[in-house]
Structure 1
Amino acid sequence: MGDVRLIPLQESDREQFIRDNQEAFRYGAMEEFGLRDNHFEEDGEIISRETIEKSIDGGLAFRIMLDGQPVGGLVVSVEGEQGELELLFVSPSVHSKGLGYAAWCEVEKKFPQVKVWQTVTPYFEKRNIHFYVNRCGFHIVEFYNSHHPDPHDEDDAISDQFPEGMFRFEKRIK
């Protein structure tokens, strides 16, 4: 596969990181729904610039590098033994090569103090659900929907965007 590493996001690469993230999420939605998708936040994007910027500004952002070339990115937040995977994306041109899993393994090595990781993904992201559960060892612990909203989604932004629901995952490290 090559040498997969995480390097801290540089300010000079921030704009490209945002574009690459939007491309990866857009690809997933188009793959699932085609052009008839109604889950886009802004201007044909499944994830808005504001959402990505908020994640970058509130967490630790990394570029996923393969043999020195950027192939994706991720953002995590860590507080003591708790960690949250805010974003993880791999360029569609390198899907299904194990790069996302290799990057996740690097996250676990980089933050060995974290005992519980969590993340969320929309109900329709079958690739993500498979990845988190079958590859990375997460468990689905909650399903946010109109009858059970995310208590952290105070302005209902996520609920409005994904009324069909979002899965919340946890991975407990022993």
Structure 2
Amino acid sequence: MNVTLEPLKPENREQFIKDNQEAFNYGAMVEFGMRDNHFEEDNQIISREIIEMSIDGGEAYRIMVDGNPEGGLILRVEGDKGDLDILFTSPRIHSKGVGYAAWCEVEKLHPDPNEPKEEARDLDDQFPEGMFRFEKKIK
């Protein structure tokens, strides 16, 4: 499985939003079950407005798996701080390591400039149990 990130193209924006909403709805309703009926808008767990604000204020990428769009993520980098606004994968590929692989690609996009290349760690060695936190400090 080859996972890469591709910058979101304007012509793919609408599909990105729909895929994001589908993934969040699946996660909330199917994976976790209905706990309450709180939706942001029109039976959507995450509103179009929130997604669009995130896209407009950050760096949006499609998560590509073997050349096919299977998710997306949005980063917000301001000065020396970077945040992950949104990360989603298609319900078809949940629990297959795609989110982790996408995060590894984010690390390649925004490496720590203070870490010498010869001392860079392999992320699989860094998180041998498959657990990690979404935290990145860019200096």
In structure 1, the residue corresponding to 2:33 is in which secondary structure? helix
TM-score (norm 2): 0.80
- For structure 1, the residue ranges without an aligned partner over 5 or more in a row are 116-133, 139-168
* Aligned mates of 1:113, 1:43 — CA distance in 2: 41
Question: Following TM superposition, by how much is the alpha carbon of 1:135 offset from its aligned partner in structure 2, in angstroms?
Answer: 3.6
Residue 40 (1) aligns with residue 39 (2): yes
Q: Give distance in 2, aligned partners of 1:43 and 1:137.
A: 33
Q: Which has the higher contact order (CA 8 A, sep 6+)?
A: 2
The equivalent of 1:119 in structure 2 is none
**1:63 is matched with which residue?**
62
Aligned-residue Cα RMSD (Å) equals 2.0
Identical residues among aligned pairs (%): 63
Instruction: Note if 1:107 corresponds to 2:106.
Output: yes
CA distance in structure 2 between the partners assigned to 1:135 and 1:91 by the alignment:
20
Unaligned runs of 5+ in 2: 115-128
Residue aligning to 2:18: 19
Structure having the higher strand fraction is 1
Structure 1 pair 70–96 and aligned structure 2 pair: CA distance change class (3 A): same
* Closer, same or farther: CA 51–98 of 1 in aligned 2, 3 Å: same
Amino acid at match of 2:91: P
Moved over 3 A (4+): 169-173
TM-score between the two structures when normalised by the length of structure 1: 0.65
Deviations 1:10-42 (A, max 9, x none): 0000000000000000011102233x6322100
Distance (whole Å) between structure 1 residues aligned to residue 12 and residue 86 of structure 2: 16
8 Å CA contact 2:81–2:137 kept in 1: the answer is no
